[in-house]
Structure 1
Amino acid sequence: MAKRRNEYHSLSDALKEFIGENRLEKGLEKIDARDAWIKLMGNGVNNYTTDVQLKGDTLYVSLSSSVLREELSYGKEKIKTMLNEELGREIIQKIILR
């Protein structure tokens, strides 16, 4: 059972401590990466996106349109930069479109 502490902490500090102690950073990064893709790519791309997964430092994006996959492949570096800016840190090093 966890120790009870009598000091007062802000809620954000308590959540950061909880996430750190329970090693939940990677899971939250996966969710943040998926949300960033949805936010940045818009409805046009999201209609053809079937799956977005972050494994390690690689973002795997499954698309149902081969034409869209080819078009996005030309701008992978720009997409990677935009996603990392949205996330606020360098999480994604590589994007694989499938």
Structure 2
Amino acid sequence: MSKNGPLKEVIDKLLRAYGYQDQLDEIELLKAYDEVVGTVFVKHTKEVYFKNKTLFIKLDSAALKQELSYAKEAIKEKLNQMMGKRIVEEINIK
């Protein structure tokens, strides 16, 4: 093992240096979103994207928007836990 640490750390540093870490984090975050919110919400999600530490979610059901808004904090914490770092600061539901 090199004195720079595990291979994952070296790869993460390399990705950050070339500016790819944010895109990879977004891809992983969107995969985690599907897993965290479940099938019903995923089916009614019309748009989901991540920008400036905010996860934007657009749903086609007013009832599900309300339900998701009640669970925002829990979803944010679960996503950050799955990502292994604090990446989501806010969730914006439309």
TM-score by length of 1: 0.80
Q: Within the alignment, does 1:90 sit opposite 2:90 as a pair?
A: no
Query: How far apart in 1 are the matches of 2:80 and 2:35?
Result: 13
Residue in structure 2 matched with residue 28 of structure 1 by the alignment: 24
SS of 2:19 mapped into structure 1: coil
Query: How far apart in 2 are the matches of 1:69 and 1:27?
Result: 26
Residue in structure 1 matched with residue 75 of structure 2 by the alignment: 79
Deviations 1:20-52 (A, max 9, x none): 331111111111111110111111111001111
Residue in structure 2 matched with residue 49 of structure 1 by the alignment: 45
The answer to whether the 8 A contact 2:12-2:21 is kept is no
Larger Rg: 1
Q: Within the alignment, does 1:58 sit opposite 2:54 as a pair?
A: yes
Residues 87, 14 of structure 1: CA spacing in aligned structure 2 closer, same or farther, 3 A cutoff? closer
TM-score by length of 2: 0.83
Name structure 2 gaps, 5 residues minimum.
1-5
Q: Where is the helix percentage greater, Structure 1 or Structure 2?
A: 2
Aligned pair count reads 89
